[in-house]
């Protein structure tokens, strides 16, 4: 067993036009001052990173690494959550997801998809240039508008949807395979990959592609009322990234899992800062350590109550306190003996 790496922090929710959150150097210094040892870097934020340049310039990547390391941190993964979302967008969501796209591809679904695919391929090469082995993203969704089957889904719809999703992703996955980087999908409501069953559908549709892996985030499973501990038992071999994010689910007589179109603070299921929700992180860190997870534990702050700066400061301590230094001996080694086949035969009555 190896010790999980951490604490790390996802920068997306902290980026701002105000210092110290508006340049890579300053936000890295801020993260380091709180005790974080790595950053998960959003690749769509030009204040921090130029993805295309990183894919085409080793020198630029070295500059990025020098900036990060001078603050005493490193990069855990690059993130293309927004670009990954645009790999597959059902027309019902065109207008809303156009906000994630650059101006030159807005109102043009085909051009937007082509741009997103190019972005993911840039991310593969950029990850290699930065000596990273994992990448985090979203899958996008063609089927999400049908997640609750009313009216009844037409026969074959789900299979066709996953076949198309796989068709779009396979060239990207092959590019990540070429450079030796795992693609870790955050299983998230709103994405076609949002639980274990949908992950398995996608894995099958991609012919069990070796680069199809999981960004494990238990908060999304709490909101779906999925057993997030059993999930680790089932899928631990594919878990290659980890968002440490808390959540709670408090159903009542007026609202449940679907939330009633309410604001986050009024929903029964809502995200919380670390330690303020219901998730059993002691068991999560124990299971991931047991199964030899070797990646980073990355804070993703999303809370409808607590200020993000408080959440970040407390989150660094929370993760550090949950990291397990694995034992290199058994507790009953003192009572052990050397292997003696003759003695064993006697005990067995042989």
Give the CATH number, domain containing residue 18: 3.20.20.150
Task: Place 185 in a pLDDT band, splitting at 50, 70 and 90.
Answer: very high
Minimal CA–CA distance to 82: which of 30, 41, 31, 24?
A: 41
* Burial degree of 236 (CB within 10 A; 0-12, 13-18, 19+): middle
List residues bridging with 5 in a β-sheet: 296
Average pLDDT in the 19-45 region? 98
DSSP calls for 125-190: HHHHHTT--EEEE---BSSGGGSS-SSPPPTTHHHHHHHHHHHHHHHHHHHHHHHT-EEEEE--TT
The residues, ordered by sequence, that sit 6+ positions from 321 with a Cβ below 8 Å of its Cβ are: none
Q: Distance between CA atoms of 4 and 7, rounded to whole angstroms?
A: 9
Contact 128, 179 (CB under 8 A): yes
Q: Tens digits of per-residue pLDDT, 49-71?
A: 999 999 999 999 999 999 999 99
Q: H/E element holding 115?
A: helix 109-129
pLDDT of residue 197: 98
Question: Any idea of the CA torsion for 224, 229, 230, 233, to the nearest 10 degrees?
Answer: 130
Q: How many separate domains does the chain show?
A: 1
Is pLDDT larger for residue 343 or for residue 49?
A: 49
3-state secondary structure of 232: helix
Query: Could you tell me if 247 and 278 are in contact, meaning their C-beta atoms sit under 8 angstroms apart?
Result: yes
At 19 the pLDDT is: 97
Average pLDDT for residues 71-93, to the nearest whole number?
A: 98
Name the region of 216 (left: φ>0; alpha: ψ -120 to 50; beta: rest).
beta
Contact 304, 265 (CB under 8 A): yes
**In the predicted structure, residue 330 carries a pLDDT above the cut 90:** no
For 47, list phi and psi in degrees, rounded to 5: -65, -25
Q: What is residue 99's predicted lDDT score, i.e. its pLDDT?
A: 95
Q: Which two tokens mark 74?
A: 């490193």
Q: The domain containing residue 118 runs over which residues?
A: 5-348
97-138 pLDDT per residue, tens: 999 999 999 999 999 999 999 999 999 999 999 999 999 999
**Dihedral angle sign, alpha carbons of residues 153, 84, 220, 248:** negative
Dihedral pair phi/psi, residue 35, rounded to 5°: 105, 5
Which pLDDT does position 237 carry in this prediction? 98
Q: What's the average model confidence in pLDDT over 221-243?
A: 98
| pTM listed for this prediction | 0.96
């Amino acid at each position: 067993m190896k010790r999980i790496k951490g604490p790390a922090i996802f920068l997306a929710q902290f980026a701002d036009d105000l210092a110290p959150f508006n340049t890579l150097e300053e936000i890295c210094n801020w993260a380091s001052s709180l005790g974080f040892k790595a950053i998960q870097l959003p690749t769509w934020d030009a204040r921090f990173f130029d993805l295309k340049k990183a894919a085409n310039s080793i020198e630029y990547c070295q500059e990025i690494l020098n900036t990060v390391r001078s603050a005493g941190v490193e990069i855990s993964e690059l993130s293309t959550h927004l670009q990954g979302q645009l790999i597959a967008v059902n027309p019902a969501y065109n207008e809303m997801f156009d906000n994630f796209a650059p101006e030159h591809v807005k109102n043009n679904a085909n051009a937007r998809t082509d741009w997103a695919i190019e972005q993911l391929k840039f991310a593969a090469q950029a990850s290699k240039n930065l000596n990273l082995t994992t990448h985090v993203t979203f899958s996008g969704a063609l089927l999400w508008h049908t997640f609750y089957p009313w009216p009844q889904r037409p026969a074959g719809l789900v299979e066709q949807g996953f076949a198309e999703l796989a068709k779009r992703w396979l060239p990207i996955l092959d590019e990540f395979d070429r450079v030796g980087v795992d693609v870790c999908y955050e299983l998230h409501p709103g994405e076609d990959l949002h639980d274990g069953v949908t992950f398995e559908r996608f894995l099958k549709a991609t012919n069990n592609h070796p680069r199809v892996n999981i960004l494990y985030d238990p908060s999304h499973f709490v909101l779906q009322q999925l057993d997030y501990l059993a999930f680790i038992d089932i899928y631990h071999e594919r878990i290659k990234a980890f968002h440490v994010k808390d959540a709670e689910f408090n159903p009542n007589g007026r609202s449940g899992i679907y939330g009633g179109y309410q604001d986050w603070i009024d929903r029964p299921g809502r995200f919380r800062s670390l330690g303020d929700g219901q998730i059993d992180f002691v068991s999560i860190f124990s299971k991931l350590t047991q199964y030899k997870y070797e990646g980073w534990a990355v804070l993703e702050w999303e809370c409808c109550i607590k200020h993000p700066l408080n959440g970040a400061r407390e989150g660094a301590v929370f993760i550090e306190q949950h990291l397990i230094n694995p034992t290199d001996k058994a507790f009953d080694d003192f009572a052990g003996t050397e292997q003696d086949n003759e003695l064993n035969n006697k005990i067995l009555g042989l």
